[in-house]
Amino acid sequence: MLKQIEGSQAVAAAVAMCRPEVICAYPITPQTHIVEALSAMVKRGDLAAEFLNVESEFAALSVAIGASATGARTYTATASQGLLYMSEAVYNAAGLGLPIVMTVANRAIGAPINIWNDHSDAMSQRDAGWLQLYAETNQEALDLHIQAFRIAERLSVPVMVCMDGFLLTHASERVDLPAPAQVDGFLPRYDPRQVLDPAEPVSIGAMVGPEAFTEVRYLAYERMQQALQVIPTVADEFDAEFGRTSGGLVRPYLSEDADMVVVGLGSVLGTVKDAVDELRAAGMKIGVLGITTYRPFPAHAVRDALSPKNRHLVVLERALAPGTGGMVTADIRMALAGRRAPHISTVVAGLGGRAITAKSLRALMSKAAAGELEPFSFLDLDTGLVDRELARMRATRRSGPSPENILRDLGITASRIG
């Protein structure tokens, strides 16, 4: 059924249709609307689940671990600082093989504190052993949650569904909400591979020493390899049942004959496609490669999607790896190792909610086409602001907190209305 609703509401509706038995969450911007909506559904009796208001994100995922180990379909959501706070549990859930589904409403990580969208939170946990799926639109966000439970339970692996904070969570867009009966048909009852049950006692979470740790961890790697098969299979099954393309590993757009391909994750792909269409109309041979599944990294799918014609890749990074630069770029390079690799430019864009505009993107791509784009750069960096702060720091030791200096330079201070 078509509806015009906020992304968070769409996700909450989709999650509710998946019939989770335990929902536990701690509020953090910009995930709050999702868990608020679910709590209301449970309280009204529209959703038969246990809803726990927990005291921290660490507790949230811990409660999820206990519930999932007891055989309950379990859901939680977080972002940014909250994801970091539960990091120990993030690794624990993956190591224990518990099919928890968690929404990450992508938000920057402080310091400095910032509530706006980028991918640094999910990126920080990319090697914890969870699957990471990135939604391009609100439609895909709700679809991915339904797919996520199926994938997670089939593999016994937890899944992070990443959706851009505010840009998707707080944007009202048209979505097609499936019928609950359809979702019931798509999602059978959770049949755990391991479960706490007095009738058949098992010990879950025992220590594993050097004699066997490698082998147990190899199984985690193996699950990721299986995921590379299961994810596209489930996407096909979803298409067959619900009638639309959603999820999967990668999504190319006009890339077959493109000289230049822009690579990205999440909602920025929509803006990129608008810019690409305009540049195409002006004669540039340019395309897009959206990465929908980031973990496991779909190396073979990326290789298959790119041809020797694609001589220049521009990788948009929505997070910064200080000390090295790009994260997605590194995965792409590894995927293309052994081939004659295209020229790759890494562009760090949209940190902390800095808007990525079609205008900036067009300028970026034109610059790239003219061969003037550096191998590593920041989109829309205000070099004046940076240079002035560096000058202040050189001039005196007690230069003070850089963020405060820069904000004052920008003319934004607490006493003034920006």
> How far is residue 242's CA from residue 249's CA, in Å, rounded to a whole number?
18
- Told to check if 355 binds other proteins by CB under 8 A, we report yes
Q: By CB under 8 A, is residue 156 in contact with other proteins? A: no
x/- map, 19-38, other proteins, by CB under 8 A: --xx-x----xx--------
Q: 241 burial class (0-12, 13-18, 19+ CB within 10 angstroms)?
A: middle
Q: How far is the CB of 129 from other proteins (least distance, A)?
A: 15
| DSSP code of residue 125 | T
Judged by beta carbon, residue 273 or residue 312, the one nearer other proteins is 273
Q: Are strands 260-264 and 286-291 parallel, antiparallel or unpaired?
A: parallel
- Span near other proteins by CB under 8 A; candidates 67-75, 149-157, 322-330, 386-394: 67-75
The reply on whether position 401 binds other proteins by CB under 8 A is: no
**How far is it, in rounded angstroms, from Cα 116 to Cα 167?**
9
Residue whose CB is less far from other proteins, 231 or 263: 263
Distance (Å, rounded) from C-alpha 280 to C-alpha 72? Answer: 50
- Residue 315 β-bridge partners: 263, 346
Where does this chain touch other proteins (CB under 8 A) — which range of 60-68, 142-150, 319-327, 372-380? Answer: 60-68
Does 325 bind other proteins (CB under 8 A)? Our answer is no
Which one of 271, 329, 345, 346 is in contact with other proteins (CB under 8 A)?
Answer: 271
Three-state SS annotation for 238-288: HHHHHCCCCCCCEEEECCCCCCEEEEECCCHHHHHHHHHHHHHHCCCCEEE
> Does the footprint of other proteins cover residue 176 (CB under 8 A)?
no
Give me the count of residues in the chain: 418
337 binds other proteins (CB under 8 A): no
Write the Ramachandran bin of 327: left for phi over 0, alpha for psi from -120 to 50, otherwise beta: alpha
Stretch that binds other proteins, among 145-153, 264-272, 279-287, 297-305 (CB under 8 A): 264-272
| Residue number with CB closer to other proteins (370 or 417) | 417
Q: Is residue 211 near other proteins by the rule CB under 8 A?
A: yes
Q: Shortest approach of other proteins to residue 35 CB, angstroms?
A: 15
Which of 172, 307, 366, 377 binds other proteins (CB under 8 A)? It is 172
Give yes or no for residue 62 binding other proteins (CB under 8 A): yes
Which listed residue (125, 246, 267, 292) binds other proteins by CB under 8 A?
Answer: 267
Whether the CB-CB separation of 244 and 176 falls below 8 Å is answered with yes
Contact 54, 81 (CB under 8 A): no
Burial class (CB in 10 A: 0-12, 13-18, 19+), 220: middle
Q: Which of residues 36-55 bind other proteins (CB under 8 A)?
A: 48-50, 52-55
Cβ count within 10 A of residue 215? 9
Q: Are 329 and 346 in contact (CB under 8 A)?
A: yes
- Residues binding other proteins: number (CB under 8 A): 76
Contact region for other proteins (CB under 8 A) — 271-279, 302-310, 337-345, 402-410?
Answer: 271-279
By CB under 8 A, residue 170 contacts other proteins: yes
- Of 324, 360, 7, the residue nearest 164 (C-alpha): 7
Query: Does residue 394 sit in helix, strand or coil?
Result: helix
* Contact set for other proteins, span 81-100 (CB under 8 A): 88-89, 92, 96
Task: Indicate whether 353 belongs to the interface with other proteins (CB under 8 A).
Answer: yes
From 124, 176, 196, 224, residue interacting with other proteins (rule: CB under 8 A): 196
| Region of 176-184, 267-275, 279-287, 308-316 interacting with other proteins (CB under 8 A) | 267-275
Closest approach, Cβ 163 to other proteins, in A, equals 11
Nearest to 336 by CA among 231, 263, 228, 230: 263
Q: Which is nearer to other proteins, 255 or 331 (CB)?
A: 255
Contact residues for 395 (Cβ-Cβ < 8 A; gap 6+): none
Q: Residue 172, SS3?
A: strand
Which CB atom, from 128 or from 227, has the smaller least distance to other proteins?
128
Binder among 119, 150, 251, 273 for other proteins (CB under 8 A):
273
